[in-house]
Structure 1
Amino acid sequence: MPTTENEDAALTTRSALRTTLQPAQLTAAKQRWLVWWHGLPPNFRGGLWILASALLFSIMTSLAKFLGGRLDAFQVAFFRALFGFMFVIPFAVRGGLQGLATKRPLLHLVRGLLGGSAMMCGFYSMIHLPLADATALSFARALFLVVLAAIFLGEQVGMRRTIATLVGFGGVIIMTRPGGEIEFATFVALGGAVLVAFVVIIVKILSRTDNPTTLIFYSSAIAAMMAAVPAFLFWQQPTLTELGLLMAMGLVGVSAQTCFIRGYSTGEATALAPLDYTRLIFAALAGYLFFQDVPDIWTISGAVVIVGSTLYITQREARLSAQKRRQEAQARPISGDSPVAPPTSALSGQDGPH
């Protein structure tokens, strides 16, 4: 990952500080910053991470759409995965290769293949659809996740979430513009959402035995190798400027995922989930400003239904998970060393866009 939390906020001023401050002064400045930062409420800090993630994801997708004007979508996806993997390597091997050991290599392979496919679907839809449409359809992953979690993890899905899921799928139908011709990229976007939902299920299983760095390392490596084949079949030689933008896209993408993870590890899902949907606002603004995309009534109506239903599902799941953790805590003997159990539901966390 690009930085630690303590280093992140000081990154933009570190160079200037080093030229004017002695080491003791620099340490004091960092300590003041850390005291101020950690003095903020956890949900506020988590919200800032999520907003940063939403903005960075929108920058990444805008770069992808711009580059897709000349380069093939497979090629853009390949460079995103390649440069993303290159940025991850130093942090993945920092603790030694033994930290990358896994007892479930086959499941990592499946996760990487599904994740790579989802990434290519995502980039294809971002390039060939208006950014607002592609972003709104990507949120449908939460709807598919409800179904998959019930099938593969045996999670209980009550009447309220069932109704909310059906309403959300109604929003998807609205966005496909019933009665009109459905674009192929729309099917690709929905296929990507299904694949992301499968990835979340697998991540839930892998996280029981492997650490997040191991998951990111293998998924990035497999996605890069997988995207290489179609990328070279449709190869267009990128210019130096395009190579620079492709590298920037990889760095921004990794940074966006890092901010997303840090946000949900800092604050509560019920407080942070609404902020993640600001990606739709950023995407609509970017589409309008840079690509002259104006959302129509179908996009706006469908997006409102999808966002509303998935937001309800996310917040209700977070409340139920919190209630379950409280009941488990009350049932356990009181001990100062007993850790708080993490959320047990796949619906309480989602894999961010690739």
Structure 2
Amino acid sequence: MAELHPRPFIPFMVAAAGIGTFSLMDVAMKDLALSLGTYNAVMWRNCLGALFMGLLFIGTRQEWPPAHILKIHLWRGMVASVMSISFFWSLTKLPFAEAIGLSFIAPVIALYLAAVILGETIGREAIWASLAGLGGVVIIMAGRLSGQYTNGHLWGAAAVLFSAVVFAYNLILARKQAQVAGPIEIAFFQNLFVAATLSFAAPWFLQPIGAAHAPLIGGAAILSIISLLLLSWAYARAEAQILIPVEYTAFVWAALFGWLFFAEPVTMPVLLGTVLIVSGSLIAARAKPEPVNQVEIAAV
């Protein structure tokens, strides 16, 4: 099990890189979900991800994990399946930046779940970081939301909020999982078990993909793997309360990618909110790590 890094800024920056990579993958997945349907986009991405990581898992001669760790991988894969389907479906109903903004309720929930589930002490810096980040999201969303929704928009917003609650729990699982497994192992089994979980619906929803979609699906799988490796490394070396606020930087990437790929303008509320989000993340990065109360992982 990896020890806490003496300089939290290092795992913080690694996690930030992982968030940026994951945000780019979200762009690819929105395009795929619109053209293939959400189920097929998520299913095929994880199938390719499991193949790629399986080759890496074997090539690096990773040891097969014991049963109690496999149980953690399986449980997180099931949780991630629900989270992925609901979030990527919401992207087909909402603008990219708006969906990302609504999802920012997750780090706030996860911050306090870390205290309940992991036994972490919620420091003053983490609370201020969360308030700053949430304040930035409020400013940005106030400038983006018109208050006029179609039924599709309402269902999309509901799907984002549901996925955010599941994602908050997923963040806590990520910390617990990273304490007992390496990044390659985590990335392999997550892709494998998400695909395995979704396979139960394959007789009704799975469709073959054409050559035109294969490169984008492969790219999304690779981006997802890179992000998962970076985040797994970071969560093994820093407390969840330090890394959770870095999730807010996803809106910085969303504003950039929304402008590049979806022609969404970068407005003044976006700029002001981004300043608060980054400020909150920097506050969290400067927080000093405190001892973590270890929990019995096999009980998950």
Which TM-score applies when normalising by structure 2?
A: 0.72
Query: Once the two structures are superposed, what CA deviation does each residue of 1:222-267 show, in whole Å capped at 9, x if it has no partner?
Result: 1112223446534454321112221221122212333445577899
Query: Once the two structures are superposed, what CA deviation does each residue of 1:176-213 show, in whole Å capped at 9, x if it has no partner?
Result: 84965463222222322222221232333344444443
Instruction: State the AA in 2 paired with 1:89.
Output: G
- Out of 191, 206, 228, the residue aligned to residue 162 of structure 2 is 191
Relative to structure 1, the CA distance from residue 66 to residue 257 in structure 2 (aligned partners, 3 Å threshold; closer, same or farther) is: same
Structure 2 partner of 1:284: 255
CA distance in 1, matches of 2:126, 2:95: 29
Structure 2 partner of 1:258: 229
CA distance in 2, matches of 1:272, 1:144: 13
Larger Rg: 1
Contact 2:11-2:235 at 8 Å conserved across structures: no
Contact 1:72-1:234 at 8 Å conserved across structures: no
Relative to structure 1, the CA distance from residue 165 to residue 268 in structure 2 (aligned partners, 3 Å threshold; closer, same or farther) is: closer
Structure 2 partner of 1:311: 281
CA distance in 2, matches of 1:214, 1:161: 29
Instruction: State the AA in 2 paired with 1:145.
Output: A
State yes or no: 1:240 paired with 2:205.
no
Contact 1:134-1:189 at 8 Å conserved across structures: yes
Relative to structure 1, the CA distance from residue 97 to residue 345 in structure 2 (aligned partners, 3 Å threshold; closer, same or farther) is: closer
CA distance in 2, matches of 1:59, 1:161: 27
Contact 1:93-1:100 at 8 Å conserved across structures: no
Structure 2 partner of 1:224: 195
State yes or no: 1:128 paired with 2:93.
yes
CA distance in 1, matches of 2:178, 2:237: 18
- Out of 50, 70, 84, the residue aligned to residue 85 of structure 1 is 50
Structure 1 partner of 2:298: none
CA distance in 2, matches of 1:93, 1:82: 16
- Higher relative contact order structure (alpha carbons within 8 Å, sequence separation ≥ 6): 2
Contact 1:46-1:266 at 8 Å conserved across structures: no
Deviation of 1:92 after TM superposition, in Å, equals 1.9
Relative to structure 1, the CA distance from residue 52 to residue 238 in structure 2 (aligned partners, 3 Å threshold; closer, same or farther) is: same
Secondary structure (helix, strand or coil) at the match of 2:92 reads helix
State yes or no: 1:73 paired with 2:38.
yes
State yes or no: 1:147 paired with 2:112.
yes
Instruction: State the AA in 2 paired with 1:286.
Output: F
CA distance in 2, matches of 1:245, 1:213: 22
Percent identical pairs in the alignment equals 26
CA distance in 1, matches of 2:179, 2:17: 28
- Out of 213, 220, 226, the residue aligned to residue 249 of structure 1 is 220
Give unmatched runs, 5+ long, in structure 1.
Answer: 1-41, 326-342, 347-354
- Out of 176, 181, 187, the residue aligned to residue 205 of structure 1 is 176
User: 5 Å matches for 1:43-122?
Assistant: 47=13, 53-94=18-59, 96=61, 98-122=63-87
Query: Once the two structures are superposed, what CA deviation does each residue of 1:307-331 show, in whole Å capped at 9, x if it has no partner?
Result: 3685267336x32x1xx46xxxxxx
Contact 1:269-1:315 at 8 Å conserved across structures: no
Relative to structure 1, the CA distance from residue 159 to residue 289 in structure 2 (aligned partners, 3 Å threshold; closer, same or farther) is: closer
Contact 2:110-2:168 at 8 Å conserved across structures: yes
CA distance in 2, matches of 1:295, 1:239: 35
Query: Once the two structures are superposed, what CA deviation does each residue of 1:65-87 show, in whole Å capped at 9, x if it has no partner?
Result: 22222211121111121111111
Relative to structure 1, the CA distance from residue 289 to residue 163 in structure 2 (aligned partners, 3 Å threshold; closer, same or farther) is: closer
